[in-house]
Structure 1
Amino acid sequence: MRDANANERTALTTGTGGADSFEISPKDLQKLMDCRKLEAVKYLNEKYGGVVGLCRLLKTSPQDGLHEDDFSKRINTFGANVIPQQRAKTFLRLMWEALQDLTLIVLIVAAFISLALSLYIKYGQAPTFDESEGQAGWIEGLAILIAVFVVVFVVALNDWQKERQFRGLQNKIESEHTFFVIRKGDTKQIPVKEIVVGDVCQVKYGDLLPADGIVIQCNDLKIDESSLTGESDQVRKSETKDPVLLSGTHVMEGSGKMVVTAVGPNSQAGIIFALLSSEQKEKSKTKKNDKKGKKNINKVPSANSDAYQMKSKENKTKTESDTEQTSKPKKKPRRKEQSVLQAKLTKLAIQIGYVGTCVAIATVLILIIKFSVHTFAQNKEPWQTGKHLKQIVNYIITGVTVLVVAVPEGLPLAVTLSLAYSVKRMMKDNNLVRHLDACETMGNATAICSDKTGTLTTNRMTAVQCFVGNKHYKRIPTASELPESIINLIVMNISINSGYTSKLLPPDIPNALPKQVGNKTECALLGFVKSIGRSYEDIRTQWSEERLYKVYTFNSIRKSMSTVIKESDNPMSFLLFTKGASEMVVKCCSWMMDEQNKPRPFSLQDQERLTEAVIEPMAGEGLRTIGIAYKKITIATNSKSPNDMIVQSEPNWDDEEHLLEGLTLLGIIGIEDPVRPEVPAAIRQCQKAGITVRMVTGDNVNTARSIAMKCGIIQPGENFLVIEGKEFNRRIRDKATGKVRQDLFDQVWINLRVLARSSPQDKYTLVSGIINSRAAPSRQVVAVTGDGTNDGPALKRADVGFAMGIAGTDVAKEASDIILTDDNFSTCFLDDSPLKAIQMLWVNLIMDTLASLALATEQPSVELLDRAPYGRTQPLISRQMAKNILGHSLYQLGVIFFLLFYVQLIMEVDNVSG
């Protein structure tokens, strides 16, 4: 057998590796990936002899993956897993876009008219008025052009820096996106861009698939393909019904392995990217030539790709052709609304714009009417084009200047620069900002809904207590202290009934703790196995993933994971192992192994006594309690053991609820996850700044309350509410319809501090309800932390979503605004006018902009945390600010009027404005 495997591996790695060395081409693979469900299974079996035959053609092994070290020939044939970025805009292009501002265009036109008139006055006709005006008249026009150039240059420079920054940010995000592959029989975590066609990838819950592939083996694998098909239902994948996996889709449940068949531009994500780029080009062509654009739409090279076929096949409501779909302008989906400050600034700018426009028009009309009456009606002067038109243009420039001065263009620039500058600073504090506006919004957050595990705690979990053989151990006992038959079942349960990507690795430095890789709860259980002197690796070697008969992966509803294996010595007998939240597992148990290694009945009263005597005391110490149980299923007529499940035929493995009845409890393990030392101080700072911190966790209410007390989220004597998700829903939902009622919700959320045993849907309901609530004096600005796939909706709904950089799934990171690269909560918190037109423009456009730059780059002080956050509906200009503005305006107007009308008489000068 070993020789056969060796010969197979040798055959897989032979060949030159060039385009001709592979017996399958990218086009052949594309045809395969265009098939769906049973059609794909049929095509795969008939054309290639199943997935094993496909792997042979790709020169890879379904078990051991690729064996080669040089992937250049494979990349030359099938491409690299990199989607080409669109070309960056040049600096001149950005300057041209900045010039499209209507106000700047009006200023430029006015400046050129002013220059033309000054030249006409000087050279075009005989001087009939002050010659110095014609000689110096060009200065005003030139000064306006210089001011406009400075503004355009600063805006373009800011946009250029922002684009460079976000390209760097995108590259950083992509470089940190890794995936598990099998190469030379070893599981490795490599950057996504290094994945090649032929790689065997391990797929698990929470992954964002980086390439297209075919399922080799899977366990209860469900995929969210809504990003491609628009269908919200999860798609169940299997080797025999639907083996096609597509890049850009999300793994919602289960695990498995796939062989990569398309990467980069040839994958579905790459094809869609190419289509979007083509559509953008076609839209730009359509603007120039409508007919030409419609013809060119049909020339898109990937129009027959899966991106179109999936939509036409699966979205049956759409009857338009591909050409019609692409020719219609599509609205770009907005991620979320404007940030709180942006919304306030937009509203203020519109209001100022209306007022400024009215004042500007009134100013121009009054000046022109006054000039006309004085010049033509009173002085009876004849029309002189150079002189009189020049004066009218000056009035128009004054009106435009009033409008320009009225609009606070320096403020949006200051906000943008400040946020961009903040992004750089936050990178040093382990905050990876994905959306600029999140920096500003987080600065005004009034409520934070935080996870417990890994955010408030260290996520370095350790088993510290256990209940085995009807005895509660306050420490981890030695193997000799425990009943051997029970321990054998517990060790087998933990080793097999965990993700095989969860493992303990030797420490990087001597005498340090082992490195925990994968799910930290499972790592703590594996540590328990090690601490009693057993080896989980030996059991996994004996029971490879391919030998597991059925796997029910963990999800947030059942809060447990189960695995079925077929016994080696009895093919008619199955073992079902279950582990999960202790109270959930205990409810499923009808038997318990006692101190004599014998199963005894486990009644409801026994369950309650165990909960009171063991589970609640453990939880009261802040421990996470994990229940370990099993069931033996035998196809027979009778059994020696009373706790075996006897069936006449193989059970329906899809009926999970029925299978999880009548389990036998093996033990309870208490896992400690210490609070991060810096968290209590960070929460005190938040509370001092007026920010309410709420903990949302899947742990039971006793564990959650204990951790909340240690963190400082709740304090003795305070009026706070700690409830579980089920009670939370009972209080906020209408009894008749089951829908959330805002009035009921408002009675709960204000005092709510801890939501235990909650689901991601509960978190979404909490976040959405707080944002919509008007019970507080000003509407709340909510920040949320999350790490799971199902946290995506809550992260998107929140004003600011924080994803965990270490423990977070790809789906959570994609839905977030900011990624905490160290998973640490503490990183979340930081006639003649008195003024010539050019003088006003200089003050407004140049000095204001420079002042904005100074404001944007000012370092935050610690005292900033003493300021209470601004609510969603709190006005941008407070009463105190309005008083200051009014007082300063009246004072400055008084000084200007005094200088204009009295100093001229007192000082006996002709013109004080010169």
Structure 2
Amino acid sequence: MDVFCCKLQLLLREINELQKVNKNKMSGDELRARNTAEKLSMTDVAHHHKTLAEKLSAVSRLTIRSKKPSLEFGISLKQLRELMEERRTDAIAKIDTYGGVLELCNKLSTAPTSGVRNDPVEIKTRQKIYGKNEIPPKASKSFWMLAWEALQDIVLFFLLASSLISLILWLVDHYSAAEKPSNAVGPEDEDHGWIDSVAIFGCVAIVVLISAFNDWSKERQFQGLQKRVEGNHVFAVIRDGKSMDVNVFDIVVGDICQVKYGDLIPADGILIASNDLQIDESSLTGESDHVKKTPKTDPMVLAGTHVMEGSGKIVITAVGVNSQSGIILTLLGATDSGDPKAKEKQKSNVSKKSSAQNASEAEAGGKSVLQAKLAILALRIGYFGMVSSGITVLVMFIQFCVRRYIIDKQDWHNEHLSKFVEFIITGITILVVAVPEGLPLAVTLALAYSVKKMLKDNNLVRHLSACETMGNATAICSDKTGTLTTNRMTVVRVYINGAVQPNIPKLGELPSKITDIIQEAIPLNCAFTSRVETAGTSTGSKPQQIGNKTECALLGFILEMGGDYEKTRKIYPENSFTHVYTFNSVRKSMSSVIPLPEKRGWRLFCKGASEIIMNKCSWVLLKNGELSQLTSAFQNQIMTQVIEPMAEDALRTITIAYKDFVFGSAAKNEENISEEPTWSNENNIISDLTCICIVGIEDPVRPEVPDAIKKVQRAGITVRMVTGDNVNTARSIATKCGILKPGDGGIILEGKDFNARVRDNAGEVQQNLLDQVWPSLRVLARSSPTDKYILVKGIIDSDISEGREVVAVTGDGTNDGPALKKADVGFAMGIAGTDVAKEASDIILTDDNFTSIVKAVMWGRNVYDSIAKFLQFQLTVTMVAVVVAMVGACVYNTSPLKAVQMLWVNLIMDTLASLALATELPTEDLLLRKPYGRTASLISPIMLQNIVLHSTYQCVIILLILFLAPMMLNMDDGTKKDEPSSHLTMVFNSFVIMTLFSEINARKIHGERNVFKGIFRNAIFYSIWIGTLVGQVIIIQWGGRVFFTYALTPDQWLYCAMFGFSTLLWGQVACSVPGSVGKAVMRNLNKIFRKKKPAVAQT
């Protein structure tokens, strides 16, 4: 005691002297004082005197606060990079050359227990010297690069080439007219012959620029989404002696990071301490086996690897581009930029990583179900366009040649070549309209818009294809805790002191033998990152639970009894623990070993699932702390009278137990030892335990969940609950949620029973056995992540359904990764989920709530509907444009719709319509129908019926105007002259106005009559609609020769408006046609196109 007091007195004197030192310099004395403070064990302090421990803690904080020197580091960035390239024994030898890990911390001006100072100036200094913890993103394409890529469209290229040839021919004719007056064209043609070509150039430029702008804005939006995903990642570090969460981008060299099960390592570091730490380094090395990390065998921990077991503490030594993964990614980026030196370097240094990344990119490049369907549809539409344009050009060629060379017997003139080029331009323009370039844009816009909006509905989408895939989901395998329940856990019932207590007892009501041990068993066997904060909460508010919610419930139990878990943790800090068996899905328990006072031995504390821990108990503490042997009969009694009633009331049951290993004489529930036990022999260590108590933890069902489950069930989606909880607890929760209903034939199985049913005698999973189980399975209790994976894979691989099942899965644990990856859509928990689970997921639920999954289903179906709406609109316009152009070309040897006009229609149809129809908001009506199915056509029978009826009606109206308007409306026949006329302008204007009203009709694709429902909820739609109408008015009234239009009179505008509005009335007629008509047409078309069935890519 006196020696300790002397040490403390000397330390205080040293601190007082340090305070007099100039604050702008950091002396060696200060470093020594700081290290001296950290070397004083808090455990030794506790054994001497409590108040001295508190003083020492205050002194340590004073040291940190008093230090504001200019940083001087004893190791360079280059040396750290070289150090992190070493592995295992070579790494340990290299660390020893710097004096060991503690001396390395000194050189980095940090300390294992206090970390760096949380001072913005110091953080920026470290970032300046050692770099920031971020990988600069690959340079995005510039706007002009995107414009150049848009110009690579082969159809646009041919259109420009043809226009250029036409312009050259006009120039030749124009300048040869004086020499050959007989072959010269008219004066008006001489003045304006070049306008068509230039107008086409201008329209193509507009189309290209708008396309480039859409791509540019889309890329920026996706970059913002990626930053959002990365920006949500925080990590636990120690700064100023306090544990805190910081954004991974703010981690600096010298930070002391606390790594735990499920973490994604944010930067390279060296291990200071570890508890059974195992890391998955496959992302860097390709090795699938987990690597055990200890400071003495393999201390190097690398960024991008995953903690699969245990916990530890590391000092960060390399961040960002200087980390090993950062170096690899930088080399990959340099390769993309065309740096030949970097390519050679990459070949020699980055073989495994690059192959892994390439595989990942190849997988990411695969088409989703929707994209595969669209590719097939676009191919068929493209064939139709090619055939139509080819026939049109051929007919115009033949008709021109027959009329000029056979009937009129004319000789060849240069102007005839211009006419042939004009025919080709007409054909290419028809192809431009027919080829559905807007389909990819519509998909991209729908997904981009949905992803942005889904953020507000607590869905952070990591993979775009997951958004549309959710629209076809037929099954959801959901976790219980946090997803279906509130994840606000509290102990409401306890078996202690030999009886189930009606209320939580106070410490004074229990024997000291029980209270003394339970005040150690719970605080010391919960992760120190789990805590309950009551300070600062307002009156009537609940304490804040931080960390694992089950552990928070147990710590809250201690507080409610009147205990102080923080006091216990100060006496036994984490670094005094001998061994820790961290919780995982296999153990379903956690155990910690601490040394007993006076070196009498060790004490093990254990907590976990009641059935599992009770099977490992041989003793139980009864009334007044009396020790009783736990016989099989007594254990069965506890199971039936304590654990099962709690579970049936939807309580999660946790057993708290302990065991002592002592030297010398031992009590009957203690194990006598002669030397330190082999802690790696887990089965022998965690046996013959003594049960202290059994607690029942309540985690209420979220009030909104039962209604949400009803909605998805009504939408044709089966909900299954997969949980690690007791079967009775699971049954109770599933019944409350509505997953299990009386009389629906749903069954509940435990993991062991499930495996017995789906495995053969050799222990192998058989699909035919799974097919007998999964259709009726509703709850899988006491299951492992492997059980979840088997179930998900079995449902996906099954062929007993009419179409393949589309499965969504939720997960929060590290071992849920395989199931999340296997699922069509994997949902990770944003709050309770581990980094590994988030990496494996497609969507992160930022609120861990099942109702957010329902929103994802709605958005997924909305994406499908948005594409379908666009298809209905585009195919209608395409059919009308192609038919009118073909008929006009065949009858008049020229298209009534000129090339520039067709390009304007193409702009309306592709770019503007895709933007307008892809941005509709979802409604709950989407949940009133079954999923479309993976194999269902994008064009439903009702849509096909609408397309045929609307296109037929519009073709009839426009052809009537084309053939009868001159006679009925007393106007000149525009087909007989090569100048803008009110006749052909009315044809063009009526077509566009009907197209605009057809866009309104296209908002409904399931036979709904009210096409205006919700129209004012979509400002983008009506803004584009009005903008397009204004643009059409400008083109008609002032387009002139450029758009080949003639200003219309008010009466003529009235006729056009009437024709357009009649499209809405015709829509009501179309709704009255029986759906059987569309089905019959669909059957016939399927027979025509049914060749070899194309493979649909899996999402």
Q: What TM-score do the two structures reach when normalised by structure 2?
A: 0.75
Q: Distance in 1 between matches of 2:514 and 2:957?
A: 92
Deviation string 1:189-240 (CA, Å, 9 cap, x unpaired) is 1222222211111111111111111111010001111111111111110011
Q: Distance in 2 between matches of 1:625 and 1:818?
A: 31
Identity of aligned residues (%): 52
1:674 aligned residue: 700
Match of 2:94 among 15, 23, 43: 43
Query: 1:660 Cα deviation (Å)?
Result: 2.0
1:319 aligned residue: none
2:241 aligned residue: 185
Query: 1:375 Cα deviation (Å)?
Result: 3.7
1:750 aligned residue: 775
Match of 1:161 among 217, 237, 257: 217
Q: 1:683 to 1:154 in 2, by over 3 A?
A: farther
Q: 1:848 to 1:40 in 2, by over 3 A?
A: closer
CA contact (8 A) 1:114 1:137 kept: no
1:79 aligned residue: 131
2:581 aligned residue: 552
- Deviation larger for 139-148 or 851-860: 139-148
Q: Distance in 1 between matches of 2:505 and 2:67?
A: 56
Residue pairs, 1:117-156, within 5 angstroms: 117-125=169-177, 126=181, 127=183, 132=188, 135-156=191-212
Match of 1:778 among 792, 800, 803: 803
Query: 1:663 Cα deviation (Å)?
Result: 1.9
2:85 aligned residue: 34
Q: Match for 1:205: what amino acid?
A: Y
Match of 1:578 among 606, 615, 634: 606
Q: 1:858 to 1:137 in 2, by over 3 A?
A: farther
SS at 2:599 equivalent:
coil
Q: Match for 1:158: what amino acid?
A: N
Q: Establish whether residue 238 from structure 1 lines up as the match of residue 288 from structure 2.
A: no
Q: Establish whether residue 116 from structure 1 lines up as the match of residue 168 from structure 2.
A: yes
Query: Matched residue pairs, number?
Result: 879
Q: Establish whether residue 105 from structure 1 lines up as the match of residue 161 from structure 2.
A: no
Query: 1:646 Cα deviation (Å)?
Result: 3.1
Deviation string 1:697-750 (CA, Å, 9 cap, x unpaired) is 111211111111222222222221221222223323333350341x33232222
Residue pairs, 1:540-689, within 5 angstroms: 540-571=569-600, 573-636=601-664, 639-689=665-715
Q: Distance in 2 between matches of 1:136 and 1:605?
A: 105
CA contact (8 A) 2:331 2:343 kept: no
Query: 1:91 Cα deviation (Å)?
Result: 1.9
Query: 1:11 Cα deviation (Å)?
Result: 5.8
Q: Establish whether residue 61 from structure 1 lines up as the match of residue 111 from structure 2.
A: yes
Q: Match for 1:775: what amino acid?
A: I
Q: Where does structure 1 lack aligned partners over 5 or more consecutive residues? A: 286-292, 316-324
SS at 2:259 equivalent:
strand
- Deviation larger for 154-163 or 200-209: 154-163
Match of 1:348 among 346, 369, 377: 377
CA contact (8 A) 1:432 1:819 kept: yes
Residue pairs, 1:227-306, within 5 angstroms: 227-282=283-338, 293=340, 297-298=343-344, 300=345
Q: Distance in 1 between matches of 2:206 and 2:783?
A: 55
Q: 1:724 to 1:894 in 2, by over 3 A?
A: same
1:530 aligned residue: 559
Q: 1:878 to 1:67 in 2, by over 3 A?
A: closer
Q: 1:869 to 1:204 in 2, by over 3 A?
A: same
2:735 aligned residue: 709
- Deviation larger for 484-493 or 519-528: 484-493
Q: 1:136 to 1:217 in 2, by over 3 A?
A: same
2:270 aligned residue: 214
- Deviation larger for 211-220 or 112-121: 112-121
1:321 aligned residue: none
2:510 aligned residue: 482
Q: Establish whether residue 824 from structure 1 lines up as the match of residue 841 from structure 2.
A: no
RMSD: 2.9
Q: Distance in 2 between matches of 1:507 and 1:329?
A: 51
SS at 2:312 equivalent:
strand
1:864 aligned residue: 926
CA contact (8 A) 2:262 2:307 kept: yes
Query: 1:77 Cα deviation (Å)?
Result: 2.1
Q: 1:133 to 1:907 in 2, by over 3 A?
A: farther
Q: Match for 2:281: what amino acid?
A: E
Q: 1:403 to 1:303 in 2, by over 3 A?
A: closer
CA contact (8 A) 2:11 2:33 kept: no
Q: Distance in 1 between matches of 2:842 and 2:715?
A: 22
- Deviation larger for 407-416 or 540-549: 407-416
Higher helix share: 2
CA contact (8 A) 1:119 1:134 kept: no
2:533 aligned residue: 505
Q: 1:903 to 1:181 in 2, by over 3 A?
A: closer
Q: Distance in 1 between matches of 2:829 and 2:756?
A: 30
CA contact (8 A) 1:623 1:703 kept: yes
SS at 2:696 equivalent:
strand
CA contact (8 A) 2:396 2:894 kept: no
CA contact (8 A) 1:336 1:796 kept: no
1:413 aligned residue: 441
Query: 1:329 Cα deviation (Å)?
Result: 8.5
Q: Distance in 1 between matches of 2:126 and 2:894?
A: 77
Q: Match for 2:101: what amino acid?
A: V
Q: What TM-score do the two structures reach when normalised by structure 1?
A: 0.90
Deviation string 1:400-435 (CA, Å, 9 cap, x unpaired) is 233322222223322221222222322222222223
CA contact (8 A) 2:663 2:672 kept: yes
Deviation string 1:440-495 (CA, Å, 9 cap, x unpaired) is 22233222222111111111110111112331124312223333312322221211
Match of 2:744 among 718, 726, 732: 718
Query: 1:17 Cα deviation (Å)?
Result: 6.7
- Deviation larger for 199-208 or 850-859: 850-859
CA contact (8 A) 2:83 2:95 kept: yes
Q: Establish whether residue 91 from structure 1 lines up as the match of residue 143 from structure 2.
A: yes
1:368 aligned residue: 397
Q: Where does structure 2 lack aligned partners over 5 or more consecutive residues? A: 1-6, 16-29, 36-63, 859-892, 976-982, 985-1099
CA contact (8 A) 2:281 2:291 kept: yes
SS at 1:334 equivalent:
helix
CA contact (8 A) 1:212 1:268 kept: yes
1:404 aligned residue: 432
Query: 1:16 Cα deviation (Å)?
Result: 9.1
SS at 2:363 equivalent:
coil
SS at 1:774 equivalent:
coil
Q: Match for 2:439: what amino acid?
A: L
Q: Distance in 1 between matches of 2:407 and 2:791?
A: 73
Query: 1:106 Cα deviation (Å)?
Result: 2.1
Q: 1:83 to 1:344 in 2, by over 3 A?
A: same
Q: Match for 1:81: what amino acid?
A: N
1:794 aligned residue: 819
CA contact (8 A) 2:259 2:314 kept: yes
SS at 1:753 equivalent:
strand
Q: Distance in 2 between matches of 1:769 and 1:68?
A: 50
Q: Match for 1:297: what amino acid?
A: K
Deviation string 1:255-287 (CA, Å, 9 cap, x unpaired) is 1111111112211232122111111122xx6xx
2:461 aligned residue: 433
Q: Distance in 1 between matches of 2:902 and 2:716?
A: 41
Q: Distance in 1 between matches of 2:955 and 2:413?
A: 35
Q: Match for 1:682: what amino acid?
A: A
SS at 2:748 equivalent:
strand
Q: Establish whether residue 811 from structure 1 lines up as the match of residue 836 from structure 2.
A: yes
